[in-house]
Amino acid sequence: MATNPGDSSSSKFLTVAEVAAMMRVSKMTVYRLVHNGELPAVRVGRSFRVQEKDVDEYLRKSFYTAG
């Protein structure tokens, strides 16, 4: 069974508070990332949900190697 990039049937959605806790940043930082388009999110009513895989991908791309 092939999965489409837009297929979210097996994805886990996180609240902004859960993403903030996972990344150890404030909720405002998560909202800023969402509004700037750096972190994809789905709007549900007045709140946002972020796929766990998108958080993992954002963190993976954000790694910085010093030295």
Is 53 inside a domain boundary? Answer: yes
% of the chain at pLDDT higher than 70: 87
pLDDT tens digits, residue range 17-27?
Answer: 999 999 999 99
Going from the C-alpha of 59 to that of each of 3, 24, 50, 52, the distances in angstroms are: 23, 12, 13, 11
Q: Range of 33's domain?
A: 13-61
Q: How confident is the model at residue 10 (pLDDT cuts 50, 70, 90)?
A: confident
Is 47 inside a domain boundary? Answer: yes
Is 41 inside a domain boundary? Answer: yes
Q: What is the pTM (predicted TM-score) of this model?
A: 0.79
Q: How many domains does the chain have?
A: 1
